[in-house]
Every structure is written in structure tokens, then in C-alpha cells.
Amino acid sequence: MGSPELHPDGGWYDLHMAASPRLQNQVERAVREALIASIRDDRSLTIDRIIALRKEYPEVGTISVAELLDGAPSGARRTARAGATRSGRKSQAVHAKAVDTRSATGRDAYDQHVLSIVKEGKGTKVSAQDIRKMAGGTPEQARRALNRLIEAGKIDYTGKARATRYFSK
């Protein structure tokens, strides 16, 4: 092995590592995984502190919130690093009311709740975000419930993407 030299990014590496892209990729993946594990383990880290870590560790900028929460302990997805986002508003995904849609009974109950919210609109069109605010659940749970209700012919929609609005038939 050759002697270590200072890498332009500020880290040390061996001259032979530059000749082996595969080894370099493996080292970069290991560093990335170690950073993810460290961030997950430190419950006191705030979003602002994680953003500040990007100056010290540029690799942090490539890590998504989903990756940080992916290996989080059970129940931690809703509570981990809960707090203000950059804009100071609370994250809606973190504070969504818990909804059980794992069972057919839970899905039916959630669908009925979503349907009652759409019907309360009395001819007005309601966005998925407004429905979620009232019914709780994640964006995925709300989307699936709305799709089940559309397929059952109980509600209809207009628009696309974020402009989609739902109304009762």
C-alpha cells in the first residue's frame, strides 16, 4: 500500500484506493451508512443541526429523511426528530393522527370516515390534504382510501396532482 495523502475534500485516502473505483465506492457506502446510523442514534439532533453537519460532512446532504427513518425503531417514524422544519412549521407527516389500515375492519372504518368528510362538503370539492387533516393518517393511507371510494363509485374527483379535488356523487 502507498502512503496516505490528504484528499481534496479534506479526508485521508490511500493512493491505491484511487486506482480501485470499486473499493472507493465500498468505502463511500460504508461512510454513508455509518453517518446514517450515527444520526439515527443521536435522538437530540434537530433538523437544523443535521443541516449544519453538511458543512462538516458533505455526504450528509445526500441522505434523505426517508433513509434516516427507514431503520428507526418501531413507532419512531412518527416521533423521531419531530419538530420544526426549515420554515418553522410542524411537519404534517410526523404529526399525522395514527390510523390503523392494516386490517379490513380498520380500512373500512377509515374509508367511512373519509367518505363522511367528503359528504360534509355538501357539493364543495375537498383536497386530499384537507381530508387528511380531518381524518388523520398518512398521505399514502388517504390516497388509498380515496382510490377505494372512487372505485366503489361513492365519490368522484376532478383535477390532477395537487389540484385534485374530491366530491360526493
What is the tally of structural domains in the chain?
2
- Residue 8's pLDDT band, with cuts at 50, 70 and 90, is low
What proportion of the chain, given as a percentage, has pLDDT over 90? 28
| 74 and 14 share one domain | yes
Look at the chain and count its residues.
Answer: 169
B/e letters for 108-123, b = 16+ CB within 10 Å, e = fewer, are: eebbebbbebbeebee
Distances (CA, A) of 122 to 113, 145, 165, 167, 168: 15, 19, 13, 8, 8
The range of the structural domain enclosing residue 164 comes to 104-168
Nearest alpha carbon to residue 68 among 76, 146, 126, 8: 76
Q: Are residues 75 and 13 in the same domain?
A: yes
Q: How far apart are CA 145 and CA 159, in angstroms?
A: 18
Same domain, 151 and 113: yes
User: In this structure, is residue 35 part of a structural domain?
Assistant: yes
pLDDT tens string 132-141: 989 999 999 9
For residue 2 the three cell numbers come to: 502507498
What are the pLDDT digits (tens) for 28-82? 888 888 888 888 888 787 878 887 887 887 777 777 777 777 655 444 444 444 4
39 and 72 belong to one structural domain? yes
Global pTM reads 0.45
Helix (H) or strand (E) holding 31: helix 21-41
Q: Report if residue 111 sits inside a domain.
A: yes
Measure the CA–CA gap between 59 and 28, rounded to whole angstroms: 9
- What distances in angstroms separate CA 123 from CA 133, 141, 145, one per listed residue? 19, 24, 20
* CA 23 – CA 51 distance, rounded (Å): 28
